[in-house]
Amino acid sequence: MNERIAKYSRKTSESVIDVAINLDGCGRAVINTGVPFFDHMLNALAKHSLIDMTIKAEGDVHIDVHHTVEDTAICLGIALKEALGDKKGISRFGDAVIPLDEALARVVVDVAGRPYIVHKGEPEGQQYHLIGGHFTGSMTRHFFESFAYNSGVCLHVELLDGRDPHHIVEAQFKALARALRAAVAYDSRVEGIPSTKGAL
């Protein structure tokens, strides 16, 4: 089997991002985005997806974390798409329901090459919470959206329950991790590309 690794870099007037991933890793992570809570979420994403990730970001966080979060998601999405290659032999679909104390999140992914995002269930006001002093709750959906559109993943995220803003975000990231882990895994029974079209 080919190595499923990829690197992607992006430089704008707002941020400089470097991402490297290995889909067949052990969940090792070296993360530094300048946004501590975001680093925490990306570490969880790597750990529970078993995707090794090295992510370095320098952005205008003195203005807002928006650009850094968005551009990191863009780079991570492009890297995932590149690492997947032709997608021969993968499971393609993945789903997970993950709790974190009172919070419960469900994520379903289809590595179909057709990007789509459905994100629902967060309580009203979650988008305005400032978590860890830097990360605004609205950045959760924005990360998922940017990641989905640039990876070619159809992504459904639903918060089923939750009260604590930190737990609400972390449950969603961990559910994404476990769903991705299932979707990108090889299945020995899959012959070629898992699509009736013959391409993903």
- As beta bridge partners, residue 6 has 21
Say what percent of the chain tops pLDDT 90. Answer: 93
Q: Residue 200: what pLDDT?
A: 84
Tens-digit pLDDT profile for residues 102-121: 999 999 999 999 999 999 99
pTM above 0.85, yes or no: yes
Tens-digit pLDDT profile for residues 18-55: 999 999 999 999 999 999 999 999 999 999 999 999 99
Nearest to 53 by CA among 111, 8, 107: 8
Mean of the pLDDT values across residues 12-19?
A: 96
Tens-digit pLDDT profile for residues 66-93: 999 999 999 999 999 999 999 999 999 9
3-state DSSP of 36-92 = HHHHHHHHHHHHHHCCEEEEEEEECCCCCCHHHHHHHHHHHHHHHHHHHCCCCCECC
